[in-house]
Amino acid sequence: MPRQARQLSDSGYLHLILRGIGKQILFEDREDREFFLSVLCRFCRETEVALCAYCLMENHVHLLVNDPKGHTALLMKKLGVSYARHFNGKYDRCGHLFQDRYLSEAIEDDGYLLAVFRYILRNPQKAGICPAAEYEWSSFPAYDDGDSFVDTSLLRELIGGREAYLAFLSSDSEESCMEYEPVRRDDDWAKETMKKLLGVSSGTALQQMDRADRGAALKALKGAGLTVRQIERLTGINRNVVQKA
């Protein structure tokens, strides 16, 4: 039977899960976890996939990524090969380390993005290990750390500052995720926003702007809540140009 095609995300956000084969333990000690995070950081930068949250459990890993360029498969291949080589070499084992393909789930609205973000960080708490704030091997401390390679910029816009963040993670109600008005809306909303923000009747007008003005306009559209794919679709400008802006 052919493999089911990956579900693509229009927003670019994905929840990824990597499991050890047969519930194989993936991390035996601190060195293993530190190595995994080092290659995760390296390959996220190489593939231009933004990491928004992570949690390393004993036999599985949760990742929340933003990948508007569609490079997740390459990231996970690099990550899987590099870490399996490290683990098998260190513990004198051979064969597959990870269970089949990694799992991926598309995230298309802000309520669900918040729910996944909280689920990932609360995983140790749910497993009875310790409170989320005390778990060492998650991105919990990176929420407002400007030096971290974890990108929580959109999540900070949705949740707020440190106190709001702590309150959000301590809540057990799913309603706290859904009370945020979704930023990403349909193309009719996007067209109206573009018209009001830039004073243009059509997104294709951006193609006639000089480079500096076009870059500023693209940045303004992204800041207003349009997705990279929406901007590409409505302006006809290549997503790589949009992403750089």
DSSP per-residue letters across 116-159: HHHHHHTHHHHTTS--GGG-TTBSGGGTT-TTSSB--HHHHHHH
Return the structure tokens found at 215. Answer: 């870059």
The pLDDT score that the predictor gives to residue 9 is: 59
Average pLDDT (51-71) is 95
pLDDT digits (tens, 9 = 90+) for 18-44: 999 988 999 999 999 999 999 999 999
Q: Are residues 191 and 87 in the same domain?
A: no
Name the residue range of residue 198's domain: 187-244
As a whole number, mean pLDDT of residues 215-228 equals 82
Q: How many domains does one find in the chain? A: 2
User: Average pLDDT in the 159-182 region?
Assistant: 71
Tell me, yes or no, whether 7 lies in a domain: no
CB neighbour list of residue 51: distance below 8 Å, 6 or more residues apart: 40, 41, 44, 63, 64, 65, 139, 149, 150, 151
Boundary of a domain, candidates 134, 159, 178? 178
Per-residue confidence (pLDDT) for residue 238, from 0 to 100: 83
pLDDT reported for residue 148: 86
Instruction: Using the predicted structure, report yes or no on whether residue 227 has a pLDDT greater than 60.
Output: yes
Residue listed under structure tokens 């401390």: 141
Q: State the pLDDT confidence band at 10, using cuts at 50, 70 and 90.
A: low
What's the pTM?
A: 0.70
pLDDT for residue 8: 56
Does residue 137 lie within any of the structural domains? yes
Which pLDDT belongs to residue 185? 58
Same domain? 197 vs 160: no
Q: What are phi and psi of 19, to 5 degrees?
A: -115, 150
Question: In this structure, are 68 and 167 located in the same domain?
Answer: yes
Domain assignment of residue 5, yes or no: no
Residue 3 domain-assigned (yes or no): no
Q: From 178, 198, 222, give the residue that closes a domain.
A: 178
* 77-116 confidence digits (pLDDT tens): 999 999 999 999 999 998 899 987 899 999 988 888 999 9
- Confidence class for position 220, pLDDT limits 50, 70, 90: confident
Q: Mean pLDDT over all residues of the chain?
A: 86
Residue 65 scores a pLDDT above 90: yes
Residue 92 sits at the vertex; the CA angle it makes with 90 and 96, to the nearest 5 degrees, is 95
22 and 125 part of one domain: yes
Q: 132 and 24, same structural domain?
A: yes
pLDDT at 184 over 80: no
